[in-house]
């Protein structure tokens, strides 16, 4: 298929404002210190819906968006670097409609998926950048892809899912218990004017960074689980799909790194952990912002050379388990210290070429396949090409029995992953 850039034709752009004005006492949304150290980029989600008779009601998507924006008022604002806050004066969320000159089933490229987004992933944090942008992509077959981009400065992936769930609920006229978000994280984690670390992200697309999607289906998950079943003989719960995939890919990425350099080097392994409903007292599951920490573990060059899949299952499993347990302390006396250590460790290594930093983000539990705007649930969900090297994002499969791993690497590094015998054996 030729590049979708020539196939996606933007028909209209407009700003959708909240249906009621934001009160003056909510006009300045402060940032938490977690928000401050987040990379400058947009979180993106694309939901793909096949043709349905009700799918023509795009106007209802606009109307319902305006209806819920009063609850999600920062998403209609703009980020002010100078004041280190979100100006919530109802400038509006961007709403784009586009025609795509192909059928939904013709989508085969991964880099081309960025063309379905309303803005580039790295185009964030300037005063002219909408906090949230949405693009409705209409295909020749009658199907659509709803792409949502939201500034990571004010929202993580869980926040994006909260918004999509609320928007879909309003769009289909569901008047059961409403989804009411809160933006209280700066009360618990006040901003410190820390400044954003340099993650090397640019506002334009970086063609040297490429994306590969590896599907671990139910058979592959079962094979990996069998390999470590002896480690869980005394446990009521087997190794999770996410732990199996992160451990397997860690080994593959480190093998590839050794093959490229001709020698091992140390690594920092990180996995994002959602702190909602894990703190004491609990933060609401509808809390919006960046409510995350990092499970991190550092390995020496010698350790990376000698460790295998089983070792990584144990190491990463214990590290994540401890981090989840530590979430109970985050709102306590030493809670901020825990967050600073975990998040700061990752930020400090962002530009260190002497160590191989591998970052995992698990989006498999956020229910994107449940988002129904009134014309059924999506038959596929995806992200796009994220301009951060060695970033692996894990998504659920529609059947809820597998994992899609979206691997972001420099083009020269991807060759080694594509040739890895263990990956090819398990996933082909």
Task: Evaluate if residue 4 carries a pLDDT over 70.
Answer: no
Q: Token pair for residue 222?
A: 């079962």
Which string of b and e fits 96-118 if b means at least 16 CB within 10 Å?
Answer: bbbebeeebeebeebebbbbbbb
Q: Token pair for residue 397?
A: 């499969």
Cα 39 to Cα 408: distance, rounded to the nearest angstrom: 15
Task: Evaluate if residue 2 carries a pLDDT over 70.
Answer: no
Q: Calculate the CA 147 to chain-centre distance.
A: 13
* Nearest Cα to Cα of residue 124 among 29, 11, 38: 38
Per-residue model confidence as pLDDT tens digits over 267-278 = 999 999 999 999
* Nearest Cα to Cα of residue 136 among 120, 149, 152: 149
Least confident of 15-29, 153-167, 327-341, 375-389: 327-341
Q: What CATH number belongs to 209-365+385-427?
A: 3.30.559.10
Q: Token pair for residue 387?
A: 């301009």
Contact yes or no for 395/383 (Cβ under 8 A): yes
Task: Evaluate if residue 1 carries a pLDDT over 50.
Answer: no
Task: Evaluate if residue 84 carries a pLDDT over 60.
Answer: yes
Q: What is the mean pLDDT of residues 143-168?
A: 96
Cα dihedral sign, 277-397-106-141: negative
Which string of b and e fits 201-231 if b means at least 16 CB within 10 Å?
Answer: bebebbeebbbeebebbeebbeebbebbeee
Which carries the bigger pLDDT value, residue 28 or residue 198? 28
What is the crossing angle of helices 241-261 and 218-227, to 10°?
80
pLDDT at 220: 97
Domain with CATH 3.30.559.10 in the chain: 7-188, 209-365+385-427
Contact yes or no for 73/88 (Cβ under 8 A): yes
Burial of 128 from C-beta contacts in 10 A (0-12 / 13-18 / 19+): exposed
pLDDT at 318: 95
Q: What is the mean pLDDT of the chain?
A: 91
Q: What is the mean pLDDT of residues 92-116?
A: 88
Contact yes or no for 294/270 (Cβ under 8 A): yes
> What is the number of helices (H) and of strands (E) in the chain?
11, 15
Length of the chain: 428
pLDDT at 108: 64
Torsion, Cα 346 348 353 358, to 10 degrees, reads 0
227 falls in which pLDDT band (50, 70, 90)? very high
Q: What is the mean pLDDT of residues 319-328?
A: 94
Q: Token pair for residue 345?
A: 């460790």
Global confidence as pTM: 0.94
pLDDT at 350: 62
Which CATH superfamily includes the segment(s) 7-188? Chloramphenicol acetyltransferase-like domain (3.30.559.10)
Q: What is the mean pLDDT of residues 239-264?
A: 95
* Nearest Cα to Cα of residue 221 among 420, 19, 402, 4: 402
Write out the catalytic residue numbers. 152, 372
Per-residue model confidence as pLDDT tens digits over 285-323 = 999 999 999 999 999 999 988 899 999 999 999 999 999
Residues 6+ apart with CB under 8 A from 63: none
């Amino acid at each position: 298929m030729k590049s979708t850039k020539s196939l996606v034709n933007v028909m209209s752009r407009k700003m959708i404002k909240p249906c009621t004005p934001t009160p003056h006492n909510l006009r300045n949304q402060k940032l938490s210190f977690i928000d401050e150290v987040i990379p400058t980029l947009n979180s993106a989600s694309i939901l793909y819906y096949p043709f349905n008779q009700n799918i023509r009601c795009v106007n209802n998507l606009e109307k319902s968006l305006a209806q819920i924006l009063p609850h999600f008022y920062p998403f209609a604002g703009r980020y002010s670097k100078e004041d280190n806050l979100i100006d919530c004066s109802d400038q509006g969320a961007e709403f784009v409609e586009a025609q795509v000159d192909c059928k939904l089933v013709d989508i085969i490229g991964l880099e081309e998926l960025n063309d379905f987004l309303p803005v580039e992933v790295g185009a964030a944090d300037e005063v002219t950048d909408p906090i949230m942008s949405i693009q409705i992509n209409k295909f020749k077959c009658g199907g659509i892809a709803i792409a949502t981009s939201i500034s990571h400065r004010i929202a993580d992936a869980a926040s994006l899912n909260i918004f999509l769930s609320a928007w879909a609920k309003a769009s289909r006229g569901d008047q059961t218990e409403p989804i009411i978000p809160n933006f209280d994280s700066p009360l618990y984690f006040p901003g410190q004017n820390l400044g954003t670390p340099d993650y090397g992200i640019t506002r334009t697309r970086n063609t040297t960074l490429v994306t590969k999607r590896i599907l671990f289906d139910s058979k592959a998950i079962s094979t990996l689980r069998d390999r470590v079943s002896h480690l869980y003989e005394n446990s009521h719960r087997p190794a999770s799909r996410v732990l199996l995939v992160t451990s397997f890919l860690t080994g593959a990425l480190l093998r590839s790194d050794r093959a490229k350099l001709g020698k091992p080097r140390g690594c920092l392994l990180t996995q994002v952990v959602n702190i909602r409903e894990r703190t004491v007292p609990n933060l609401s599951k509808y809390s919006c912002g960046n409510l995350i920490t990092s499970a991190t573990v550092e390995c020496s060059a010698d350790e990376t050379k000698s460790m295998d899949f089983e070792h990584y299952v144990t190491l990463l499993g214990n590290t994540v388990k401890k981090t989840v347990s530590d979430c109970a302390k985050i709102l306590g006396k030493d809670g901020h210290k825990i967050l600073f250590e975990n998040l700061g460790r990752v930020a400090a290594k962002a530009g260190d070429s002497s160590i191989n930093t591998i970052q995992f983000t698990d989006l498999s539990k956020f229910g994107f396949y449940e988002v129904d705007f009134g014309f059924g649930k999506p038959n596929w969900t995806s992200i796009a090409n994220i301009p951060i090297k060695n970033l692996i994002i894990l998504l659920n499969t529609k059947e809820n029995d597998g994992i899609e791993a979206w691997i972001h690497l420099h083009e020269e590094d991807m060759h080694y992953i594509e040739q890895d015998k263990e990956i090819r054996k398990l996933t082909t």
